[in-house]
Amino acid sequence: MTAPLAAGRPAPDRGARQPPGGPVSTTIPSGVVLLTDRRSADRGLAEVVAQAVAGGVRWVVLREKDLPRPERAALAAELRAILADAGGTLVVAGPDPLGGDAVHLPAAGPYPPPRLGLVGRSCHDRAELARLTTEDYATVSPVHPTPTKPGYGPPLHPDGLADLIRTSPVPVLALGGIGTPDQVHACVAAGAVGVAVLGALMRAEHPTEAATTLTRAFAEAALTRPDTRHAGTKVAATRPDTRHAGTKVSDPGLRPGVTTEGPSLTARSGHVRPQPSTPTTVHAGGGGHARPRPPTAPTGDRR
């Protein structure tokens, strides 16, 4: 499924690094995305992440901004190792990727975003969405009241979320107070490509079971939701079979994939924003949404 571009706004171009074999691609977070908060967990942060990954989570956003950089960088390396075994991806909150290539920035800045492989931005209203330039995706919050941030809001609820998604130039993750299958279904029906979850996983007594419940709910919602913005889109749940490279296995508990009947728009899992007359390259791992990059030469906190 493709995200609508804002009227008059060109496709983002961050001077993507161009490999000899062709254009690069950006994989967009989708499905259930875990936001970390070690203070909410009743066990070690790495243990919670590992259990969530065992339950189907393939995207993790490392927060923990209060940690000294060396300690936070070591934690990032540990979480990347956990995710790598499952083909997952770590995104770091803030402009410093801590040795990686993916960041999630607050609404307040910095602007313009850094030139990295993946850049997300927190947004809360139309004005913040309209300010996006070269970001690859955005979170929109709060969808529901959240115990993590009491008084944070007002909540958008699914109808408000849908209104903002319709104006967004990039794929949107729903965020804030999401913790039940019904809430996941409502966010997907509103147009979200994924749900960002903190308390429902970090505070879960059994993170693997909680993650499995939410990832299955997301896959079911993606399978049954008609794409009202883009006719002809079919959604199917897939995952990479790590035993046999290149093999895809149906699994209702993991992230969705999209096969679009329109011309040159086939992605293993997700949100493709094609460029005119540009070959499409699909990222092979991590289970997100692939967006093609044009062959361009390199150029010189609310949550």
Two tokens, residue 115 = 């030139």
User: Residue ranges per domain, the chain?
Assistant: 28-224
- CA-CA-CA-CA torsion sign (143, 145, 150, 151): positive
* 91 bridge partner residues: 61
Question: Which residues in the chain land under pLDDT 50?
Answer: 1-25, 228-287, 289-301
* Assessment of whether the complete model's pTM goes beyond 0.85: no
Q: Are 50 and 34 a contacting pair, CB within 8 Å?
A: no
| pLDDT of amino acid 295 | 42
pLDDT digits (tens, 9 = 90+) for 219-245: 999 998 755 443 222 333 333 333 333
Q: Output the CATH code of domain 28-224.
A: 3.20.20.70
| pLDDT of amino acid 179 | 97
| pLDDT of amino acid 237 | 38
Helix (H) or strand (E) holding 157: helix 157-167
- Tell me the C-alpha distance between 164 and 59, whole Å: 23
| pLDDT of amino acid 83 | 98
Q: Are 61 and 196 a contacting pair, CB within 8 Å?
A: yes
Helix (H) or strand (E) holding 177: none
| pLDDT of amino acid 149 | 72
pLDDT digits (tens, 9 = 90+) for 31-77: 999 999 999 998 999 999 999 999 999 999 999 999 999 999 999 99
Backbone angles phi, psi at 20, to 5 degrees: -60, -30
Q: For the chain, first and last CA: distance in Å?
A: 27
